[in-house]
């Protein structure tokens, strides 16, 4: 599982001992962003400003200040000399004093904003945010005689080794480009045309059912986190109904487009806004359900104190938080303040994220606009395992 591997790498990263301060840098390097089209792209300006702010912050510790300056100089060098391919659409860079931490990750999904910070350990929530929005997704492209299954992950779309389903053969084979016309049926009267239409409908119904079964089996074997379908008109509805219940729950949206003959990259680009909206709909729905459950005493909690407590007990399945939440720790209860201190983090947000990582909970960062329930929950919501 690609995302799970990245989460495990992050877990190892936050557990690594640092010999001093750790610099965390996130750059929105997306070349498609108009702000990055000038000779000096916006991400480069934001990087310089962020590094200047970090190096200008003095605590009276000369040794630490010198370490921070060295880390900032190295970060600027690394990001400046990196190629466009190495920078992708966003970059996460972590550097620790003495080389104790050195991690450079390229994403094809932009981070929310450029961000530079210094702390005693890596600040990882922006990276988890990108990972969550880039869930591994199966894309089912349907026409009336063919079906293709693509893989989307971290903004990249690709054909699978065996991506096109052939009903007559009853199995998958390699995609070899658009299908060629198979000829037409001519001659005959109205009754013959009607009989032919009936046979076509029966064949298509059979095809949709077989395709839905094949997609479900393949998607399950490949371990996709979610499924998206693209099919015109009634074909999409028929496919949805034919999916087994377990896989139907993973189908996050059906887009009424025929994309069967597009390349994987073109299909991914056409579906990109729908994939982003599907993520927003999912997390907004989870937030609303959590809020309602918490009010009824169900498996959900809201607010920093309750969520920190549930995380400490390993009960959280899905943590949703506003990453820009400004919480006054003086308003937290003593157990919450102790939990933040034990996590060794400077902020409530990082303590929440670290505890979620350590207990294998899903972490979603979202604004109140994306998840309105956060506004009523003091910026933190959790769905519970038990």
Q: What are the 10-residue block averages of pLDDT along the chain, 386 residues in total?
A: 81 86 96 92 96 83 87 96 95 92 94 93 92 94 86 94 68 69 45 61 79 88 93 85 90 93 95 95 96 95 94 95 80 84 78 91 94 95 96
Give the separation between CA 222 and CA 5, rounded to whole angstroms: 15
Residue 210: exposure state from Cβ atoms within 10 A (0-12, 13-18, ≥19) = middle
Give kind and range of the element (H or E) at residue 352.
Answer: helix 348-358
Show the tokens assigned to 345.
């983090």
Res 178: pLDDT: 67
CA-derived radius of gyration, the chain: 25
Query: Domain residues of the chain, as ranges?
Result: 2-133, 137-179+188-262, 283-384
Longest Cα pair distance anywhere in the chain, in angstroms?
A: 94
Place of tokens 């108009």: 34
Question: Which CATH number is 283-384's, of 3.30.365.10, 3.40.50.300, 3.30.1330.30, 3.30.70.380?
Answer: 3.30.1330.30
* 8 A C-beta contact, residue 215 and residue 243: yes
Show the tokens assigned to 280.
């927003």
Res 185: pLDDT: 40
CATH architecture of 2-133: 2-Layer Sandwich (3.30)
Res 184: pLDDT: 40
Residue 64: exposure state from Cβ atoms within 10 A (0-12, 13-18, ≥19) = middle
CATH 3.30.420.60 fits 137-179+188-262, yes or no: yes
Res 98: pLDDT: 84
């Amino acid at each position: 599982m690609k995302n799970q591997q990245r989460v495990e790498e992050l877990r190892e990263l936050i557990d690594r001992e640092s010999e001093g301060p750790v610099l965390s840098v996130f750059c929105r390097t997306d070349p498609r962003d108009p702000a990055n089209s000038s000779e000096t792209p916006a991400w480069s300006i934001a990087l310089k400003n962020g590094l200047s702010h970090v190096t200008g912050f003095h605590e009276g510790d000369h040794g630490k200040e010198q370490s921070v300056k060295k880390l900032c100089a190295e970060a600027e060098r690394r990001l400046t000399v990196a190629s466009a391919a190495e920078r992708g659409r966003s970059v996460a860079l972590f550097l620790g004093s003495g080389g104790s931490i050195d991690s450079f990750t390229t994403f094809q999904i932009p981070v929310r904003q450029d961000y530079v910070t210094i702390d005693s350990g890596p600040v990882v929530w922006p990276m988890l945010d990108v990972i969550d929005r880039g869930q591994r997704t199966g894309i089912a492209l349907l026409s009336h005689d063919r079906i293709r299954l693509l893989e989307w992950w971290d903004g990249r779309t690709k054909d699978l080794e065996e991506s096109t389903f052939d009903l007559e053969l009853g199995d998958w084979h390699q995609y070899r480009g658009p299908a060629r016309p198979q000829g037409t049926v001519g001659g005959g009267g109205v009754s013959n045309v009607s009989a032919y239409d009936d046979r076509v409908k029966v064949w298509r119904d059979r095809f949709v059912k077989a395709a839905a079964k094949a997609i479900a089996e393949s998607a399950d074997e490949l371990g996709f986190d979610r499924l998206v379908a693209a099919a015109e008109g009634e074909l999409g509805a028929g496919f949805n109904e034919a999916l087994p219940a377990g896989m139907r729950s993973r189908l996050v949206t059906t887009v009424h487009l025929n994309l069967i003959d597009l390349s994987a990259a073109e299909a991914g680009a056409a579906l990109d806004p729908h994939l982003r909206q599907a993520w927003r709909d999912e997390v907004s729905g989870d937030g609303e359900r959590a809020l309602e459950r918490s009010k009824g005493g169900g498996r959900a909690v809201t607010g920093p104190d309750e969520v920190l407590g549930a995380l400490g007990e390993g009960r959280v399945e899905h943590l949703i938080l506003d990453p820009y939440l400004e919480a006054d720790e003086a308003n937290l209860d003593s157990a919450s303040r102790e939990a933040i201190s034990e996590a060794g983090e400077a902020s409530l947000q990082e303590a929440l994220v670290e505890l979620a990582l350590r207990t294998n909970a899903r972490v979603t960062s979202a604004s109140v606009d994306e998840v309105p329930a956060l506004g009523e929950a003091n910026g933190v919501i959790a769905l519970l395992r038990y």
